[in-house]
Amino acid sequence: MNSMTPVCVWPVAAALGEGPIWRASEGAVYFVDIKKRKLHRFSAATGETRTWDAPAQTGFVLPYADDTFVCGVQGGLHRFTPSTGEFELLKHVESEFQGNRINDGYADARGRLWFGTMDDAEVDPSGALYMVGDSGEIVQRDSGYVITNGPAMSPDGSTLYHGDTVKRVVYAFDVASDGTLSGKRTFTAISGTGYPDGMAVDAQGYVWIALFGGARIERYSPAGVLVDQIAFPCSNVTKLAFGGDDLCTVYATTARKGLSQAQLSEQPSAGGLFTFRSPVKGQTQAVCTAVLG
């Protein structure tokens, strides 16, 4: 894997690119730029790009019902309709924490929605991990985070991975059939440079973790052992998704946030959307079927 070289396919110069997902029916990648309040689409076949304005900082975009998407917009969960560009508020989130925003999100194979919140100032441990299932209730599953990241799940659905970026730790949880979490434990603590950002789990159950400030993606065995890493030409790698017809094409978002002018000059592709080929398949992108409206 160390021979793989990421290539920038869209130098979009995102301030904080995040949350790539592969939309197989369109052969396209969707992702967000949190700080610029944008939602982007990249066609893998044609290279065509499209951008929509979001109503506020948006941490994730995930497939939802009827060719729409659910987005984690600061203050609530929204339905996004690409054909009209409209965002519709479905549920308020953490109205009591005005300084918080929604960060990373994930739809599991059962259609449940998992997402985290964080202190937008990146100081207070006011962030939490939430789940929404068939009941439509937003249920808190963990708390005490300054910056939440992940979440992602093993292929058999028995283990959830979730990152505490500031503490540089990724946790593993046991997942019950009803989405209850137990057995919280350290899956890995990052050594060397960088902070754990978004992640994905491949079809073999190995966890790929993007490192903000680390200029790489690391791949860990289910036992938490580092087995490979992919070097990037820019510092802030934020998240990855498996795509393509064979789910072996990896797409990764990056960010310009926090880089000095000197660093930006040295990293002209920072904030771009990157791709590379993986010898290992990823998991199919699930559709969120949680009751939100």
Catalytic residue positions? 197
The sign of the dihedral angle between the CA atoms of 149, 161, 143, 141 is: positive
Q: What φ, ψ does residue 258 adopt, rounded to 5°? A: 85, -5
Residue type, 250: V
- Cβ-Cβ contacts under 8 Å for 141 (sequence gap 6 or more): 114, 128, 129, 130, 131, 173, 179, 180, 181
- Residue 32 · residue 39 · CB < 8 Å: yes
Residue type, 138: I
Report CA-CA distances (Å) from 164 to 118, 128, 149.
Answer: 10, 10, 6
Cα(229)–Cα(159) distance, rounded to whole angstroms?
22
- Residue 23 · residue 40 · CB < 8 Å: no
Query: How many CB atoms within 10 Å of residue 134?
Result: 13
Cα(234)–Cα(86) distance, rounded to whole angstroms?
33
- Residue 262 · residue 268 · CB < 8 Å: no
Q: Exposed, middle or buried, 1 (CB in 10 Å: 0-12/13-18/19+)?
A: middle
